[in-house]
Amino acid sequence: METSPIPVLTVQTAPFEDQRPGTNGLRRKTAVFEGKKNYLQNYIQSVLSSIDLRDRQGCTMVVGSDGRYFSRAATEVIVQMAAANGIGRLVIGHNGLLSTPAVSCIIRKIKAIGGIILTASHNPGGPAGDFGIKFNVANGGPSSDTVMERICQVSRTLEEYAICPDLRIDLSRLGRQEFDLENKFKPFRVEIVDSVELYLQLLRNIFDFNAIKSLFSGPDQLKIHIDAMNGVMGPYVRRILCDELGAPANSAVNCVPLEDFGGRPPEPNLTYATSLVDGMKGGDFGFGAAFDADGDRYMILGEKGFFVNPSDSVAIMAANLSSVPYFRQLGVKGFARSVATSTALDRVAKAMKLALYETPTGWRYFGNLMDSGRCSLCGEESFGTGSDHIREKDGLWSVLVWLSIMASGKKAVEQIVREHWAMFGRNYFCRFDYEGLDPRAAFYLMRDLESVISDKAFTSQKFAVGDHVYSVERADNFEYIDPVDGTVARNQGLRIVFTDASRLVFRMSGSGGGTGATIRIYAESFERDPERHSRETQVVLGPLIAIALKISNVHERTGRRGPNVIT
Which of 65, 99, 104, 121 is catalytic? The answer is: 121
Single-letter code of the amino acid located at 339? V
Decide: 294 and 117 in contact? Cβ < 8 Å.
Answer: yes
| Active-site residue, 342 included | no
List, in sequence order, the alpha helices (H) in 282-391.
Answer: 310-319, 325-330, 344-352, 364-371
pLDDT at 295: 98
pLDDT for 515: 67
* Residue 399: closest CA among 296, 536, 504, 470: 296
**pLDDT, position 512:** 53
Interatomic CA distance for residues 256 and 237, integer angstroms: 11
Task: Check: CB of residue 262 under 8 Å from CB of residue 232.
Answer: no
Contact 518, 436 (CB under 8 A): yes
pLDDT tens, the chain, 567 aa long = 457 999 999 999 999 999 999 878 999 999 999 999 999 999 999 999 999 999 999 999 999 999 999 999 999 999 999 999 999 999 999 999 999 999 999 999 999 999 999 999 999 999 999 999 999 999 999 999 999 999 999 999 999 999 999 999 999 999 999 999 997 778 999 999 999 999 999 999 999 999 999 999 988 999 999 999 999 999 999 999 999 999 999 999 999 999 999 999 999 999 899 999 999 999 999 999 999 999 999 999 999 999 999 999 999 999 999 999 999 999 999 999 999 999 999 999 999 999 999 999 999 999 999 999 999 999 999 999 999 999 999 999 999 999 999 999 999 999 999 999 999 999 999 999 999 999 999 999 999 999 999 999 999 999 999 889 999 999 999 999 999 999 999 999 999 999 999 999 999 985 555 568 999 999 999 999 999 999 999 999 999 999 999 999 999 999 999 998 888
Angstrom distances, CA of residue 470 to CA of 25, 281, 493: 39, 36, 20
Do 110 and 146 contact (CB within 8 A), yes or no? no
In this prediction, residue 113 carries a pLDDT of 98
Q: What is the pLDDT of residue 185?
A: 77
